[in-house]
A = this chain, B = another copy of it.
Amino acid sequence: MRPKEEVRGPLGIIAGKGPLPCVVADAALARGLSLHIVGIRGEASDQIERFPHTWIKWGEVNKLFGALESNGCRDLVIIGGVSRPDLSNLKFDLGAIKNLPFILSLGKGGDDSVLSRIVGYLERKGYRVHGAEDVAPELLAGLGVLGQKTPSAEDRADIDLGFQVVSALGHLDIGQAAVVAKGRVLAVEAAEGTDAMLARCVELRQSGRVHQQGRSGVLVKAPKPGQEERVDLPTIGTETVIRAAAAGLAGIAVAAGRVLVAERAATIEAANRHGLFLVGETLAKEANP
């Protein structure tokens, strides 16, 4: 874990998809920080318009830095997933063209290496990049059973294997998630993302490649070892629970303190409603792949 730096306002929030940018903004206001959101068109939700904001398109690097500068933002949170833009179809502004070698280098490598390079680039420009959890620590999954249901002994064995898989993958900068049922690894996440992986688990059952009665198996999510946790902590939410339920899984296990739970109350309520367990585990299991 890196040492935490104090978050100072005005806070710049660079916003990708989903509800988390607004959650972070609300948390920042509650802590008395002023803020400015820079939303990426086609990624961020219109909800960010509740706050002081600027819209930019992919490639508008000058506009990004202009918005941060004119609002006095030196402290940043980058939050919410983004699609990897198609570099060959972007319209770059002058700021982007100045930084073209750097931007073109983003077309290569795994997610983590790309995100680390972006954070390093911002730091070299004098910005201080914080994790969403530094502003809103209540987003982090806690330790232990989070909902009403508790994993069985069989679930526990699947959870252990799942953390081993995610750890082995993470060393190679692959995904942050896997699905294990009855000691068999059903699916491993790479570029497709967790939602697509869970959709695949539904297909595995429908096509008869996997058989089962009742709920079994677990979705495991954890950050990659050594990953840039400030910008890419794995996240679960109600959608994750609904998809895990559709895949017939018994529950979800995440690395406690290192996975974000969006819409915490709603996510736990969804797990309870679908009869799934939701559990935060210590990372000791992850340390021994």
Contacts and interface: CB of A to CB of B under 8 A. Distances in A.
Interface of A: 83-89, 107-111, 113, 161, 164-165, 168-169, 171-175, 178-179, 182-193, 196, 200, 203-204, 208-211, 213
Given A164-B172, A173-B185, 5 more contacts: A86-B208, A174-B185, A175-B188, A187-B192, A188-B188
B209 A192 contact: yes
Contacts of A192: 187, 200, 203-204, 209
Given A87-B211, A210-B84, A185 B168 contact: no
Contact of A191 (B85, B113, B187, B193): B187
Of A175, A184, A211, most buried by chain B (CB within 10 Å of CB) is A184
A190 B186 CA distance: 6
B187 A108 contact: no
Copies in the complex: 2
| 6 A-B pairs with least C-beta separation | A86-B211, A188-B188, A186-B191, A109-B183, A174-B185, A168-B168
Contacts of A204: 191-192
A171 B165 CA distance: 10
A220 to B, nearest CB: 12
B84 A209 contact: yes
A38 B178 CA distance: 37
A211 B168 contact: no
A39 to B, nearest CB: 19
A184 B188 contact: no
Contacts of A89: 211
Contacts of A168: 168-169, 171-172
Contacts of A110: 183-185
A114 to B, nearest CB: 9
Of A175, A191, A208, most buried by chain B (CB within 10 Å of CB) is A191
Contact of A209 (B169, B179, B191): B191
Contacts of A165: 172, 174
Contacts of A113: 183
Nearest to A186: B191
10 contacts: A89-B211, A107-B182, A113-B183, A161-B172, A168-B171, A169-B188, A172-B185, A175-B188, A192-B203, A196-B203
